[in-house]
Structure 1
Amino acid sequence: MLNARIKLRHLQAFLQVARQRSFARAAERLAITQPGISKTIRELEETLAVVLFERTPRGVSLTQAGLTLLRHAGPALRTLEEGIGAVGEGRTGASWLRIGALSTVESRLMPEAIHRWQASMEGEGGVSVVTGPSAFLLSRLRRGELDLVVGRMTAAREILDLNFEHLFYERLLLAVRAGHPLAAATELTPQDLTAYPWVLPPPQTTLRQQVDSFFVRHGLELPAQPLETLSLPLGRGFTLGSDAIWVAPEESAMEGLKTEELCELPLAMEQQGGSVGLCTNASLAPSLALDQFCYTLRAIAAEKAITTP
């Protein structure tokens, strides 16, 4: 049974401080004073008889007890918000999804899935899409701030106790502009690539792990002046305007390959490709809207499997 001394304001304050890693920023987000939020956290710690935060010169960090509470309090408040939202849905018929999308699915899968899902909802469904690295998106999913994360993330350590469902495999490929000195090559060795600039995923991302593995396997050094980005428009634009080699998810390069603005180099980055799928938080009860969106993703993945040679 929940301790009667623990109020909703205690949990809201705790979650904000955990997210902001700062009492001052959390107080600003909740529109209360900093002494007020400090008092609220102190009351919660006294009630639970634990220390939830460690104060450091750079802000605050969660203790082990704080991490344990965060794992449960975030989803619990999210469930409460869903219940309140469901009352609103019952009155208005509206549904809303909050989705995290990795760069591997931004170009084709997500636009198609959102279009189909909204059509099935007869214009009632709204979608908020957040992009970024897998670690950032999965941490938000764990806290109940997202309903779903879609993309290539099986190598992400942050999955931990989240549920991952495989949809299909997708390759990383090496793309260059039409007319690039290597574009007409029928055979290449990894050493042939070292004279050119590269567009790479940033460090600490699951895609970059594959790139680093490729360089290690072939005894290559990382280029001296790489462009590191998850932005697909930036990566594509930089590649089209230079002699750069772009490490691109197959989906994001597909349009350029079809129009022959881009060429795929005949050198495999990986054997099979990475597992693209959907990740959900098992501690959150899925809404009907989320179930329908996941069904839409599975349908598109099945079609992709049929049409892929």
Structure 2
Amino acid sequence: MNLDNRIKLRHLTCFLEIARQGSLARAASVLAISPPAVSKTLRELEEFLGASLCERSKSGVVLTRAGQSFLRYAGVSVQALREGVRSLGSHAHEVSSVRLGALSTVESAFLPEVVRRLHEQHEALRISVVGGPSAHLLGLLRVGELDLVVGRMTESPLIEGLSFEHLYHEPLVLVVRPGHALLGSPVQAEALENYPVVLPSADTTIRRDAESLYVQCGASLPQQRLETLSIALSRRYVLLSDAVWVAPRDAVLLDLEKDELAELEVGIKDPGGSLGICSNPTHTPSVGTQWCIEHLREVAEEFRVRLGSSPPFH
């Protein structure tokens, strides 16, 4: 489909406000025009595009599948234009920013590489990263206090109504300190039960997968446990003790490659959970956010090869 030169900025801003407000009347109020004018502008845009963008009802307006797809690009286009105009004025050196929520599964190897590439290519980009459980981060995303959340979160009920883009599958592994008594041969279930275990916190989406891995090994979880989302605490405790850490591979990838931690041979391979990007479709992404998404995809492609993971869904 060729770009119709009849599409004007007013069509895009009107559509974006309708999507943001979920109502023609509220969009009209924000835009300071009449509801009939909003309706007419939307009809014109739909005619130019040859697609229905919204479904109207008594309760408001809901985007169609075509509308959701168009929203992603329309929002970025308008935001880029606004920032381009600002760059010509007194805000020529204004810093772009992106606010990320990061689950612990991406903090050790994946996200640091994304940040490195972002700062390498964009001189004036401020990146803010907030950690914590998925429920907390998705809540911040929903109210607009974060631009993106990155990690394993597809099992969270709070993801409903948000957009999720799969990047790669990340497996869980059992790791111990070098020289651990369980190394050197396939681990027996009864032996595994004799050592303390380090697990993700009980209120996280990854906890169920961690427990399932022990079940697949034929072992029960020992009573002696450390439950935490802190990668630094988990790593240091495992190095100081005989504990077994049920860890996302990203969290220990560098340690395994440097032989600073060792993976136990348990005779099974965890298929991995879906690691990806969660965004709020009602919020227009900034240029900084779009840059971040591009680099997340780029690094994820390399990690799929590095981890032997499957390609993204289509």
TM-score higher than 0.5 here?
A: yes
Q: Structure 1 residues 306, 215: CA separation in 2 closer, same or farther (over 3 Å shift)?
A: closer
Name the amino acid aligned to 2:290. D
What residue in structure 2 maps to residue 225 of structure 1? 224
Match of 1:119 in 2: 120
Using a 3 Å threshold, how does the CA distance of structure 1 residues 205 and 115 change in structure 2: closer, same or farther?
Answer: same
Given that residues 217 and 268 in structure 2 are in contact (C-alpha distance below 8 angstroms), is that contact kept between their aligned partners in structure 1?
A: no
Q: What number of residue pairs does the alignment pair up?
A: 232
The amino acid of 2:296's aligned partner reads L
Cross-structure match for 1:147: 147
Task: Quote the residue 2:282 is aligned against.
Answer: 283
State the Cα deviation string for residues 229-278 of structure 1 (Å, max 9, x = none): 11001000000000000111111111221222211001267631111110
Please report the TM-score for the alignment, with normalisation by the length of structure 1: 0.69
Calculate percent identity across the aligned residue pairs. 42
| Alignment check: 8 A CA contact 2:168 2:304 kept | yes
Structure 2 partner of 1:104: 105
Q: Is the 8 A contact 1:89 1:95 kept in 2?
A: no
Match of residue 31 from structure 1: none
| Contact persistence 2:200–2:227 (CA under 8 A) | yes
Q: Secondary structure at the match of 1:174?
A: strand
Which residue is 1:8 aligned to? none
Distance 1:220 1:254, change over 3 A: same
Q: Tell me which residue corresponds to 1:296.
A: 295
The 4+ residue runs of structure 1 with deviation greater than 3 A are: 85-90, 214-221, 268-271, 306-309
The equivalent of 2:184 in structure 1 is: 184
- 1:174/1:269 contact within 8 Å kept: no
Match of 2:264 in 1: 265
Q: Secondary structure at the match of 2:113?
A: helix
| 1:164 aligned partner | 164
Give the 3 Å change call, closer, same or farther, for CA 124–88 of structure 1 in structure 2.
farther
Alignment of 1:17-96 (within 5 A): 90=87, 91=91, 92-96=93-97
Distance in 2 between residues matched to 1:120 and 1:163, nearest whole Å? 27
- Code of the residue aligned with 1:206 in structure 2: it is T
Alignment partner of 2:206: what SS? helix
Q: Which residue of 2 aligns with 1:237?
A: 236
Verify the 8 A CA contact 2:193 2:222 in the aligned structure 1.
yes
Native 8 Å contact 1:173 1:268 kept in 2: no
| Amino acid in the other structure paired with 1:127 | I
Assess if the C-alpha contact under 8 Å between 1:210 and 1:270 holds in 2. Answer: no
Deviation at 1:215, TM superposition (A): 4.1
TM-score, reference length from structure 2: 0.68
> What SS is found at the alignment partner of 1:151?
strand
Asked if 1 retains the 8 angstrom alpha-carbon contact of 2:173 and 2:270, the reply is no
C-alpha displacement of 1:88 = 10
Structure 1 residue ranges without an equivalent (≥5)? 4-78
The structural deviation recorded for 1:294 is 0.3
CA RMSD of aligned residues (A): 2.7
What is the identity, as a one-letter code, of the residue corresponding to 1:180?
H
Structure 2: 5+ residue runs without aligned partners?
1-24, 28-74, 309-314
Of the structure 1 ranges 282-291 and 212-221, higher mean CA displacement relative to structure 2 is found in: 212-221
- 2:15 corresponds in structure 1 to none
The residue identity in structure 1 corresponding to 2:146 is L
